[in-house]
Amino acid sequence: MRTRWVLEILLVALPFVATDSLGGTLPDVPVQEPMRPAEPLPLERSAPGHLLPVPNVPMPSGALTPRPQRHTSFVLYSLSSEDLAKRTKVVHSLSRLCRLGAFGQQLDGWLYARTPDRRWGLAFAHGANLNDPQGRAQPGMVYFIRDQDTGRCEVRQAPQAQLGAYWIGDRYPPFKAFPGVRD
């Protein structure tokens, strides 16, 4: 059925294909011969050991190693996007350090805050899940980290005391240092 419909359209359109806009016929265009596939170049080896596998070279001393991923994670805060924008502020200096790998979560995704549109990694100023070799964290602050280990890393901070209404963590009580971290 469909083939017949296509053939009918082609038969109607064929008289118009070979004419230009003034009704004259178009000049004949020579048909090119089909192209042949290129012949492969001969493989020339410079030495018998040429093109061997690359040896496993250790990473240079200044390179950033990938952060370990946790399979268990805990949601500690639940905020709306408006509450997050209202209660936290972007810290541009820490965001820049995060992009360089000098500020962020020790374990990416272990602790997080939930908003309707995304998941924010959490780190606390007293040291819970915080990688801060330069000591830039301010006491009593919670750090919300988005897109860690990328060039788009964003760090927001808020006082921990003002976020108590949004606490939903069930394993750890709010406003207490986690066991085994520095105070």
DSSP string, 36-74: PPPPPPPP--SSTTTTPPPP-PPPPTTSPPPPPBPSS-E
What's residue 39's pLDDT? Answer: 80
The SS3 call for residue 25 is strand
What's residue 119's pLDDT? Answer: 92
Annotated domain spans of the chain:
86-166
Strands 154-159 and 141-146: antiparallel
Strands 74-78 and 111-114: parallel
- Give pLDDT < 70 ranges for the chain: 1-31, 42-60, 62-71, 170-183
What's residue 181's pLDDT? Answer: 42
What's residue 34's pLDDT? Answer: 74
Q: Give CA torsion, residues 6, 11, 14, 15, to 10 deg.
A: -150
**Is-above-0.75 flag for pTM?**
no
What's residue 2's pLDDT? Answer: 59
What's residue 90's pLDDT? Answer: 97
Sign of CA dihedral 41, 42, 47, 53: positive
What's residue 44's pLDDT? Answer: 66
Q: Give CA torsion, residues 114, 98, 164, 173, to 10 deg.
A: 90
- Degrees, nearest 5: CA angle 75-76-81: 85
